[in-house]
Structure 1
Amino acid sequence: MALKIGDKAPQLLGTDENGNEVTLDRFKGRKLVLYFYPKDNTPGCTNEACNLRDNYDQLKDAGYEIVGVSPDSAASHQKFIAKHGLPFTLITDPDHTLLEQFGAWGEKVMCGKTRMGVLRSTFVIDSDGTIVRAMGPKEVKVKEHASQILTDNK
């Protein structure tokens, strides 16, 4: 069963682009925006990452830290970060462990074919590790994602 609003997020989130373990403790005292995206260097995912990058200072000032998650490799994440100057951590989840915990891995239809894949979604986790907001694939607007997050700043 997927995590939902009101649930505690898992302490271990995964491994970042440099092979370091990422835990919730790293973000203690801040709100964490955990966003799940399908693939590095694809149009929608690049738009979303660059929108968050362009608004990163504003998000930080509002108390947020950003972490992206996709099935891509650490090497792919490193290239994506370097190419677009991303100031935030990207977690590699090739086995879909975190994706499945958050319900961000499932069936999707593309070009008339059904297949398993990443369901673009975002979760906001408060400073005590509780999920306080969830945005599913139909809600996330890749070119306006930072403003979506900031409009719900509590």
Structure 2
Amino acid sequence: MKLKKGERIPEFKLSDHQEEEVSLEKFEGKNVLLSFHPLAWTSVCRNQMQALEDNYDQFEENNTVPLGISVDPVPSKRAWAENIGLENLRLVSDFWPHGDFASKLGIFIEEKGISGRVNILVNDQGEILWAKEYDIPELPDIDEVLKAVSDNA
């Protein structure tokens, strides 16, 4: 993973599971956690997204917006959000061009057609405050994520 603290991520405009546009400029004055997961409808990805949902108030208390991002299309993200009971967390689609944002970040796994499992905390200017890559089957430690969020609030 080539993501380094202090570097800027590329600008992006994607759609969430409710077909609303998502970009950093929409979160002025807030930090954003870009929580990449390989694919919807898998158990580790479900647990990763539910951990963000279950701790949504702690993100808000630390002026941070968590976003769940994968290469799945919007209709799949919408159905999955309903299936796993998400009420606050926005699921973002990096579907078309397929994995383009993940590719620009250097975390797209071309041979599998998925992004890696990566958490990237950025400020509203896109500067990386913290980033961690995980093995595909590994569930990110939500306590570690929340500590990174609070340390950078």
Q: Normalized against structure 1, the TM-score is what?
A: 0.83
Question: Going by fraction, where is strand more abundant, 1 or 2?
Answer: 1
> How do residues 45-60 of structure 1 correspond to structure 2 at under 5 angstroms?
45-60=45-60
User: Does the aligned pair in 2 maintain the 1:122–1:140 contact within 8 Å?
Assistant: no
Structure 1: which amino acid aligns with 2:101?
Answer: L
Please say if residues 121 and 140 of structure 1, whose CA atoms lie closer than 8 Å, have aligned partners that are also in contact: no
Structure 2 residues not aligned, in runs of 5+:
none
- 1:92-131 aligned within 5 A: 92-94=93-95, 95-106=98-109, 115-131=112-128
Deviations 1:14-57 (A, max 9, x none): 12223332110111111100011011121100010111111111
Correspondences of 1:1-154 after superposition (within 5 Å): 3-86=3-86, 87-94=88-95, 95-106=98-109, 115-138=112-135, 142=139, 144-145=141-142, 147-152=143-148, 153-154=150-151
How far apart are 1:131 and its partner, in Å? 1.0
| RMSD (Å), alpha carbons | 2.4
Residues 99, 108 of structure 2: 8 Å contact kept: yes
Amino acid of the structure 2 residue aligned with 1:50: Q
Kindly, what percent of the aligned residue pairs are identical? Answer: 26
Runs (5+) with no aligned partner, structure 1:
108-113
Number of paired residues?
147
| TM-score, reference length from structure 2 | 0.84
